[in-house]
Amino acid sequence: MDKILAILIFATVFPLSATIYRLISGRTIVYQIVIFPLSMLGIGVSVMYASYVYSGMLSFIISTILAVILIIIGLILARRLAIRYINSQVKSMWTSDLSKQSGTEEFIDFFIELDSRTAKLKRKEEDTAKLRKDISSMTTEIEQKISGAVERFTQQGHVIHNILRANSSIIRLLKENAENAEDIAGSAKRSAVKIDVNNKNVQKSVLTLRSIISKIKFIDDLSFQTNILALNASIEAAKAGQNGKEFAVVASSIQKLSEKSKKSAAEIDKISQSGIQLSERTGRISAQIVPDIKTTAKQITKIAETTKKQHQEAEILSYTIAHLETEISHFTETTQDINRMIQELTDLVRSYETQGGLKTSFKDDNESEFYSDSDFEANSNLSNVAFSDDEFTDNEFTDDSTSPKNE
Amino acid sequence: MAQNENTQNTYLTFRLGTEIFAASIDKAVSIIEVPEIIKVPRSPSYMKGIINVRGTVMPVIDARMKFGMKPIEIKKRTVIVTFRVDIEGENVDVGALVDEPGAVIQIKKEQIMNRPDIGSKYKSELIVGAFTHNEQFIMLVDIDKVFTLDELTEINDSKEEHSLEEHIEAESHK
């Protein structure tokens, strides 16, 4: 029973462990080269032992020979398989043929290394593809955003152009305003002067009317005296009786005349008085108007000055806006350049995707014996920039850095 | 003509305050503008002083005060009417200050109303009658009575007191 169990263990442990190893590590090359022959050896040995236990010496010798043949066949098969695999792998990577490699241990070490590296490369390639995809999506996003920005800048440019145009019309209006205000101020000053002259004329007319009144008083006095004279003449005529009757008529008509002149003098006096009142009122009003007009003129002059200043400020503003406009157009151009560059970048990334990044990258690395440290550093830098915390961590690279030592 | 003379009298009118008065033309001498009146000391209040009219010195009275009105204020229209009055058979030239001279008018005797109709607003003994002329109520004054004897005596009294006035009076009498 024990013997049967041993045989079964011998027959099953090696292939089983090989299969488990293969499943766990995924390293096909190791299985093919090392585990497969070993499992074959295990089977051979178990066959040998079984034949020794149950069939005696002759069958043992035969089975031993058979097992040796099996082992030899297995080894030859494994080697051939391995060489074929390596050739296929290496041919895809390097132009040089590694089939001339000698020394099985080194060879196996190398293949273990190669296998792990190939696995890593595959992972990296996947990562790079993801990265590329990400970059591509990012660049398209950036492109969209920049084109949006360009559009906005163009709109801003339009807006600023409109502002500039409005400002120029404001400048024109301000200039007109200033000119008009100056005109008004000038006319106000002129009218103030004219009203001054008017005032003086009114004063003169008042004086004239006063002199008329004094002259009228003289006429009034004269009529009074004439009246007295006429009365005296009438008295004398009355005393003369019948003889003085005609003279009395003359005297009474003189008296009537004097009465009339008195009345007219009184009327003229009244009219002149009202004329004086009117003139004085006019004079007072125009005297009030003159300072008003003068203050108005001053205020309008101030307005004109302020408008001039505004005009200057607006011109400065216009200049500034024009400057801003040129700046924005420069900015727009720059943004368009950036956009173009990003498009180029996107094209480049896409071309990488279609051509296959691995080949080109390995072609570039052709000069180096294997993976140069500097390359990995560069890659790590790139990855660090792209994904700060991802599978591409430092421990992976430490493994890589140790591996060339094994070589 | 004689009938006309009988029926019509000629009067000189003048204004005192708001009232118009008339005096017989026979008594009136002339109308003059108010000259410089020389005041006479201690004379009655209605006597304003003396004036010199073409060499004749005569006393001037305030006619308004004579009629019991407020004392006269000498204005532009104020004049002196000179009268020749009969005082104790003597003809004396006297001046009266009136507010305004009127006119020489002729009034029929029938038009003149009697004194009692006028009332006693003024010193009635001076008023002898009244009439309307050109819708104007005019009071007729007896000039001789205005310059009554006793008042002239007062004047004379004052003359006695002052040698200067005596001298003037003497001159006037000459």
CATH code of residue A303: 1.10.287.950
Res A372 pLDDT > 60: no
Query: pLDDT over 70 for what percent of chain A?
Result: 75
The answer to whether A36 and A16 are in contact (CB under 8 A) is no
Q: Which of A235, A242, A248 sits opposite B12 (nearest CB)?
A: A235
pLDDT 10s digits, B90-122: 888 899 999 999 888 888 888 888 765 555 555
Q: How confident is the model at residue B174 (pLDDT cuts 50, 70, 90)?
A: low
Q: How far apart are CA B112 and CA A343, in angstroms?
A: 140
Interface test with A, best of B24, B104, B106 (most A CBs within 10 A): B104
> Going from the N-terminus, what domains does chain B have, and what CATH number goes with each?
2-173 (2.40.50.180)
Res A377 pLDDT > 50: no
> In this structure, is residue A19 part of a structural domain?
no
Q: Which of A224, A228, A231 sits opposite B104 (nearest CB)?
A: A231
Q: What is the mean pLDDT of chain A?
A: 76
pLDDT 10s digits, B111-161: 888 765 555 555 567 788 888 888 888 989 888 888 764 554 444 444 444
Q: How many domains does chain A have?
A: 1
Does any CB of chain B come closer than 8 Å to the CB of residue A110? Answer: no
For position B162, what pLDDT does the model report? Answer: 47
Give the residue from chain A lying closest to B101, CA to CA.
A228
Res A392 pLDDT > 60: no
Does any CB of chain A come closer than 8 Å to the CB of residue B77? Answer: yes
Beta bridge partners of B50: B38, B59
Res A148 pLDDT > 80: yes
Residue A266: its chain B contacts at CB < 8 A? none
Does any CB of chain A come closer than 8 Å to the CB of residue B33? Answer: yes
Lowest mean pLDDT among A161-170, A267-276, B121-130: B121-130
Per the structure block, which two tokens stand in for A391?
């599978």
Q: How far apart are CA B5 and CA B133, in angstroms?
A: 19
The DSSP line for chain B is -HHHHHHEEEEEEEEETTEEEEEETTTEEEEEE--PPBP-TT--TTEEEEEEETTEEEEEEEHHHHTT-PPP---SS-EEEEEEEEETTEEEEEEEEESEEEEEEEEEGGGPEEGGGT-SSS-GGGEEEEEEETTEEEEEE-HHHHT-HHHHHHHHHHHHH-HHHHHHHHHHH-
Interface test with B, best of A218, A223, A226, A234 (most B CBs within 10 A): A234
pLDDT (mean) for A308-321: 89
> In this structure, is residue A21 part of a structural domain?
no
Residue B77: its chain A contacts at CB < 8 A? 224
Query: pLDDT over 90 for what percent of chain A?
Result: 7
Interface test with A, best of B3, B27, B31, B81 (most A CBs within 10 A): B31
> In this structure, is residue A390 part of a structural domain?
no
Q: With a threshold of 0.85, tell me whether the complex ipTM lies above it.
A: no
Q: Cα-flanking dihedrals φ and ψ of residue B147, to 5°?
A: -95, 65
Res B33 pLDDT > 50: yes
> In this structure, is residue A40 part of a structural domain?
no
Q: Hey, what amino acid is at A398? A: T
Domain that holds residue A223: 148-349
Q: How far apart are CA B133 and CA B111, in angstroms?
A: 9
CA distance B25 to chain A (A): 7
> In this structure, is residue A123 part of a structural domain?
no
> In this structure, is residue A74 part of a structural domain?
no
Q: How confident is the model at residue A106 (pLDDT cuts 50, 70, 90)?
A: low
Chain length of chain B: 174
Q: How far apart are CA A376 and CA B128, in angstroms?
A: 162
Res A49 pLDDT > 50: yes
Could you say which DSSP state residue A33 is in?
I
Lowest mean pLDDT among A94-98, A241-245, A301-305, A362-366: A362-366
Which residue pairs from A209-212 have beta carbons closer than 8 angstroms and sit at least 24 positions apart in sequence?
A209/A272, A209/A275, A209/A276, A209/A279, A210/A276, A212/A268, A212/A272
CB contact (8 A) between residue B1 and residue A242: yes
Does any CB of chain A come closer than 8 Å to the CB of residue B140? Answer: no
CB contact (8 A) between residue B29 and residue A225: no
> In this structure, is residue A202 part of a structural domain?
yes
pLDDT (mean) for A149-159: 85
Give the residue from chain A lying closest to B76, CA to CA.
A221
For position A118, what pLDDT does the model report? Answer: 83
pLDDT (mean) for A13-35: 68
How far, CA to CA in Å, does B139 sit from each of A348, B69, B77, B133? 143, 15, 20, 10
pLDDT 10s digits, A279-308: 888 888 888 888 888 888 888 889 888 988
Res A179 pLDDT > 80: yes
pLDDT 10s digits, A217-240: 899 889 989 999 999 999 988 888
pLDDT (mean) for A148-153: 84
Q: How far apart are CA A112 and CA A6, in angstroms?
A: 31
**CB burial of residue B53 (10 Å; 0-12, 13-18, 19+):** middle
